[in-house]
A = this chain, B = another copy of it.
């Protein structure tokens, strides 16, 4: 049997109330002497506070729940580091629930699980919620915040890069380097994808270029998607492609090399994300790099009710996969 405050109280010859006060650090409500005694007994007994009981009586857990979607891209670690860091600073524990790979059932289940626990906030990492999920989430009084996903709905908390701006930035970078026929590969049909298409199209228009419809190809952000899409781009004769993720970029790169298309001489590729994988390919991949750590930090602020910008700036990191114009 695990020891409880009752055991400590008995051992120390005080009431459970006193034990509770000492263990919860309610300073000024107990004498130094009883404190010493209680702490000593607690250690002897190998006591650990039962969080479940505390949470029940306090009707709130100092805990942030992160529901995470295992997408093919893997920037999650960086976001998690940021979350963990900031949460600890704010005295919150962090628990992570894994929602599989875009698996609706598991997503549901994760949300339900979290709602049944009185967490102080819910962070949804790369989760595209369906109508039911959103319903559930709203129904709860717990604040929730989408991370790395922007709804375009200011009623719903979220933190992410500005996908429109990001795509604009990538497109403009390519245009500035002399490209006019630019593809966009591997984006999805949801919020993130459409925002990026918009940014891409706007940049093209702003520079007096036309973005052909079939220059935009859907995919699932994966390496395989990248590989396959290269073939689709071949007859289109674009000179540069914006990849929806680093993984897509690597897929394009490898497929290109296999087809004897020199990167960046014949084809330029720019990735989106800027994870380590950009650095280990040959040539290394130029990317629009997202500040994932900061996204994590701010998501905690946001869900804890602190004011923060919704968008975290991105930047171009020049490596070797885009042909430079000089």
Contact = CB atoms under 8 A, between A and B. Distances in A.
Interface of A: 2, 46, 48-53, 55-56, 61, 70, 74, 77, 80-81, 84, 93-98, 100, 106, 112-113, 115-118, 139-141, 223, 250-251, 254, 257, 276-277, 279-282
Contacts of A118: 50, 52
A81 B106 CA distance: 11
Nearest to A83: B98
A302 B250 CA distance: 38
Contacts of A55: 52
B280 A257 contact: no
26 contacts: A2-B141, A46-B139, A48-B115, A48-B116, A50-B117, A51-B116, A51-B117, A52-B55, A52-B56, A52-B61, A52-B117, A52-B118, A56-B56, A70-B77, A70-B80, A70-B81, A74-B77, A94-B97, A95-B97, A96-B98, A223-B276, A223-B279, A223-B280, A251-B280, A254-B282, A281-B281
Nearest to A280: B250
Nearest to A105: B88
Instruction: Give 9 closest A-B pairs by Cβ, nearest first.
Output: A96-B96, A51-B116, A95-B95, A52-B55, A52-B56, A46-B139, A51-B117, A48-B115, A250-B280
Contacts of A81: 70, 98, 100
